[in-house]
Amino acid sequence: MPIHFISDKKLNLHDLSGILSGKMRVQLSEDAKQKIVRCREYLDNKLAISQQPIYGINTGFGSLYNRHISHDQLEKLQENLVKSHACGTGPEVPREIVKLMLFLKAQSLAYGYSGVQLVTTERLLAMFNENVLPVIYEMGSLGASGDLAPLAHLSLPLIGLGEVYHEQKRKSGAEVNQQFQWPSIHFQAKEGLALLNGTQFMSAYGTWCTLHSHRLMHLANMIGALSLDVFDGRIEPYLPQVHAIRSQTGQGQVAASIKKLLEGSELIAQPKKHVQDPYSFRCIPQVHGASADAIAYVTNVILTEVNSVTDNPNVFPDDDMIISAGNFHGQPLALALDFLSIALAELGNISERRTYQLISGVRDLPNYLVANPGINSGLMIPQYTAASLVSQNKQLATPASVDSIVSSNGQEDHVSMGSNAATKAYRIVNNLYSILAIELITAAQALTFRRPLKTSPDLEEFVHTFREHVPFMEDDRVLHNDIQKAEIFLKKFQVNFPA
């Protein structure tokens, strides 16, 4: 199995996609090991020669920052921190997100500014490699002092507590440690705080959503192009002259992409009776393009975050400084994830409108795209399902980042709520797969009614592959199964992520 070595090399989408695939093991590079050890040694020496209060290392946490902790209690302080903060609730975090959290936590610690032990970071990676995935709950983080509650649950198995999933079974942390002969880790000063402070809950969701957003953007263009063609739409709104005089980057890219997808189509080339198309077809470049620009912005924010140190305080051995600051604050992620949610919700919004147009019995297509409407309802109700999902996405796209609730007795008086932005974005991504699946079912069904004319070779191949999973509908059948198969087909669609 290939090995990814954690180092100073910047992670890109290609790297993250490979790590998320489950077909790669992860190890620390020798340079990363040296940085972790050097930072830990510096911190130990500093504590041995100085009685100066250092937040979270020899003081209490949050509003208890003014409580000094004696040297013989520093280990207990860190263990108590992890136990007391493991108070998440709500649904369990999906395991693919948990696995990303393990990797991203280790990545951040490996830069050598967090003061953790080498054994602690290596244990996180051992859990990643052996698919030992802690049980974490969705609710509990404010996205400001780090993702405290989720990361506490992530950390519990290190000290033999909490629960994990391994080999499809739910086990106690103690049980899985015994199975692998992993001794419980004795947290040193600062370690519990280094594990809990950080944005890895938000950034794991953000990474997953960003990777899927690139796939969804590509699919929305392909399916939109197919819908345009089977609706007997016009190609003129996609000509480069239109987009050259409005220099929006995403708009021009989408127009060029769809024009290329439709090259060789007999349908798009046939004479048209109508002079223009509804906005959901004519304005695909403008709407999809704006979402593409948003995804590009969010991608930059997410990649910056996963290549950063986000705990507190930060330890700088070269400068002989330990600085308590605010790198754990999730505002960059909160704003970006809210933006992503809006961008993806709009891709679903316009998709459902295309579905509606295709089943409405216009432009020589039969009502609900079935040969015998009346006795057959055809594709009437999938559009209802798409409308329901679109409506929910609109509600989920309401920004979380505009909210803030004071915590820790006023010490933490502005929070990002980026964790809520992250979990909402995750739901929108999954809803969008369902919405696009319904549009694809609809467009593929409409294509049959345009025979013997063909769409472009690229789209004919796309539909042919899809038909291996979801056949043409002659008569009514249970369409839940079709939608589910279409969703799986789209989620497995291969996309090349930039390296």
Q: What CATH code is carried by the domain that includes residue 348?
A: 1.20.200.10
Cα separation, 322 vs 303, whole angstroms: 26
Give the pLDDT of residue 63.
56
Fill in the amino acid letter for 78: Q
For residue 204, give the nearest of 405, 5, 11 by alpha carbon: 11
Query: Do residues 121 and 144 share a domain?
Result: yes
Mean pLDDT of 177-201: 94
Is residue 371 included in any domain, yes or no? yes
**Burial level of 94, CB count in 10 A (0-12/13-18/19+)?**
middle
Phi then psi for residue 148, to 5 deg, are -60, -60
Helical H segments across 60-117, by residue range: 74-85, 95-109
Q: Which two tokens stand for residue 268?
A: 């798009």
pLDDT band at 189 (very low <50, low <70, confident <90, very high): confident
Q: What is the pLDDT of residue 487?
A: 98
Picking from 198, 225, 257, the residue at the C-terminal end of a domain is: 198
Tell whether 428 is covered by a domain: yes
Q: What angle do CA 40, 30, 316 make, to 5 degrees?
A: 35
- Beta-ladder partners of 172: 163
Residue burial 452-474, b: 16+ Cβ < 10 Å; e: rest: eebbbebbeebbeebeeebeebe
Q: What is the DSSP letter of 241?
A: H
CATH of the domain at 126: 1.10.275.10
Phi then psi for 138, rounded to 5 degrees? Answer: -70, -35
Residues 213, 164: one domain? Answer: no
What is the pLDDT, as a whole number, of residue 67?
Answer: 67
* Domain-embedded: residue 167: yes
φ and ψ at residue 48, rounded to 5 degrees:
-70, -30
In a domain, 237, yes or no: yes
Domain check: are 240 and 193 in the same one?
no
Radius of gyration from C-alpha coordinates of the chain: 26
- Residues 230, 171: one domain? no
372-422 pLDDT, tens per residue? Answer: 888 899 999 999 999 999 999 999 999 999 988 888 777 777 888 899 999
Instruction: Indicate the helix (H) or strand (E) that contains 169.
Output: strand 169-172
Binned at pLDDT 50, 70 and 90, residue 499 comes out as confident
Same domain (yes/no): 249, 187? no
Task: Look at residues 137, 167, 198 and tell me which one is the last residue of a structural domain.
Answer: 198
pLDDT at 95 over 90: yes
Residue 450's CB: how many other CB atoms inside 10 A? Answer: 19
Total structural domains within the chain: 2
Residue 94 CA to residue 355 CA, distance in Å, equals 30
Report the catalytic residues: 55
What is the rounded distance in angstroms from the CA atom of residue 208 to the CA atom of residue 217?
Answer: 14
Domain ranges, residue 266: 205-315+327-491
3-class secondary structure for 48-70? HHCCCCCCCCCECCHHHCCCECC
Q: Do 194 and 211 sit in the same domain of this protein?
A: no
* 322 within a domain of the structure (yes/no): no
292 and 163 in a single domain? The answer is: no
Q: Could you tell me the pLDDT band of residue 223, with boundaries at 50, 70 and 90?
A: very high
Same domain, 481 and 341: yes
Residues 177 and 222 in one domain: no
Cα–Cα distance between 155 and 172 in angstroms, integer? 13
Mean pLDDT of 159-167: 97
How far is it, in rounded angstroms, from Cα 495 to Cα 499?
12
Within-domain flag for 62:
yes
- Say if 498 falls within a structural domain: no
Same domain, yes or no: 381 and 257: yes
Q: Which of 179, 198, 217 is the last residue of a domain?
A: 198
- Bond prior to 452 in cis (omega within 30° of 0): yes
Q: How many other C-beta atoms are found inside a 10 Å radius of the C-beta of residue 45?
A: 11
With tokens 């100073």, the residue in question is: 8
Residue 56 clears pLDDT 80, i.e. is over it: no
Phi, psi of 453 (to 5 degrees): -65, 150
- Mean pLDDT in residue range 196-224: 97
- Within a domain: 480: yes
Phi, psi values for residue 26, rounded to 5°: -130, 135
Q: In the prediction, which pLDDT does 64 show?
A: 60
pTM (two decimals):
0.95
Same domain as 275, residue 166: no
Q: Are residues 83 and 154 in the same domain?
A: yes
pLDDT of residue 361: 94
Q: Token pair for residue 134?
A: 């802690």
pLDDT confidence bin for 65, thresholds 50/70/90: low
